Amino acid sequence: MSQDKKSFFDFTSPFELERKIEIFQQSHKEQFFVPKKDKLKMKTLVLQRNYLIKFNQKRNLLKYFNLTNALLEFVTHPKMGLGISLTKNGGNFIFYGDVELWFTYIKKWCIQANFSKEYSIIKMIGKGSFAKVFKIQRISDRKEFAVKVFDKSILKCQDRPALLKEIELLRLMNHKNVVTILETYENDQYIYLVQELYQGGELHQELKKSKTFSERGAFIIIQQVVEALIYVHYQGIIHRDIKPENIILKEDGIIDQVVLADFGLADYYRKDCKYMFTRCGTPGYVAPELLQDKIYDHKVDVYSCGVLLYYLLMGKGPFDSNNYDQTVKANFNGQVDLTQIYFTNECLDLLRGMLDPNPQNRFTFDQVKQSSFFKKHLFNNKQRNSQSSLGSVNIQCDSQNQSPQYSPYQEQKYSLEQKKRIVQYSSPQQSPFKLDSPNLSPLTDPLQKIPNLQRVPIQI
């Protein structure tokens, strides 16, 4: 990144903070040499997620640094050897010592400028309107990853807040069933988001082949999505775009290893409901209160997860239509007819609880986990130690209570020999549609535009 080019990540948050931050016992804590007036002083540093805290024991003072989007570099000292340099908004902090491990902790929150020195590009595996996705290999150990590359020259001013928000939220994620960012790089032309490489493809693509899942197969997937969303909600975030296209299989044909992806429409939960995008999501999957311009909370994700469960079992969504306006109007009402669906009573009870159009009566995720459907399949899964594949799950009958009128596609066998699909990543500015636009909404009263509000900073 040359000095005459402005960074995409420049914004007004200060490097050094005035406010105090509670220090946790489990935070990384170590002593390093810090330069001060041409001398090196031993200081105790604490790393707490995106915050670096420096102790001054003599004065009993603490300094707090916000590492988010700081430029991260290795530096060397003639006597002390390797060190870390952090630069942000005109401020700079350097420390020396055994810093390699700390570099791996810090890099998730920062920006680096030497992508081509660390990684080699193997091939392009996905392409969208705003980004391309490449399979890459780390030069140091030849481990493979995926990188999402944004061309800064085609990003518009209004795209910047959405992309910054998505990056901020993804950095918070640290769960086996949720996608995250490992490193971020920037040069004069591109932004690079390095992520884990998942080769199983989208759940949406698997559904095209298998058509439907048995109750057990649907449970294996839904359980992981529920655990992912409980974690996301614990971070104070709502996802707002749960659908098969955003569920990724880590390995081809293995459904007990899925991750929740695409945080382009996610946001920090707000009681006043004034989000960057308020009425948003994918038609046919969103909660009705979101389309009805009502105040909503985390339960919108419960409803979307219920639609996902319905889709897995039936091979189509409850509001599917070839007409966009009809889909949104049916979704707006939120009434799902379960009287003609033949599954176990436990399954139907769970669907009713998750798809209740009244959010006050709708299940919480804790109630979902306590449902008889979850308890039954959790017990059954304990009896099985082998890894579950699409082929073994889809052809298995769930219980003696299963109606013989279940989907005829459930007997279809899945072939693991078919060609692997490539994960198609989308940028936060691509589909799904942002329903804030009155041109996309069939409703009579278009939603007034909500101004972009100051983003909630990452808190410990």
Known binding residues: 156
Residue ranges at the known binding site for ATP = 156
Sequence-distant (6+) residues with CB within 8 A of 384 are: none
Report the C-alpha gap between 60 and 62 in whole angstroms. 7
**Could you tell me the two tokens for 280?**
């948003």
Report the C-alpha gap between 80 and 78 in whole angstroms. 6
28 DSSP β-pair partners: 47
Report the C-alpha gap between 279 and 442 in whole angstroms. 13
Residue pair 51/82 in contact (Cβ under 8 Å)? The answer is no
Residue pair 15/91 in contact (Cβ under 8 Å)? The answer is yes
Integer CA distances (angstroms), 206 to 73, 253, 340, 387, 442, in order: 42, 8, 25, 17, 31
Q: Is the peptide bond preceding residue 432 cis, with omega within 30 degrees of 0?
A: yes
Sequence-distant (6+) residues with CB within 8 A of 381 are: 220
Specify whether 301 is catalytic.
no
**Catalytic: which of 38, 141, 159, 241?**
241
Report the C-alpha gap between 333 and 383 in whole angstroms. 41
CB-based burial of residue 300 (10 Å sphere; 0-12 exposed, 13-18 middle, 19+ buried)? buried
Residue 133, amino acid: V
Residue pair 265/170 in contact (Cβ under 8 Å)? The answer is no
Residues recognised as catalytic: 241
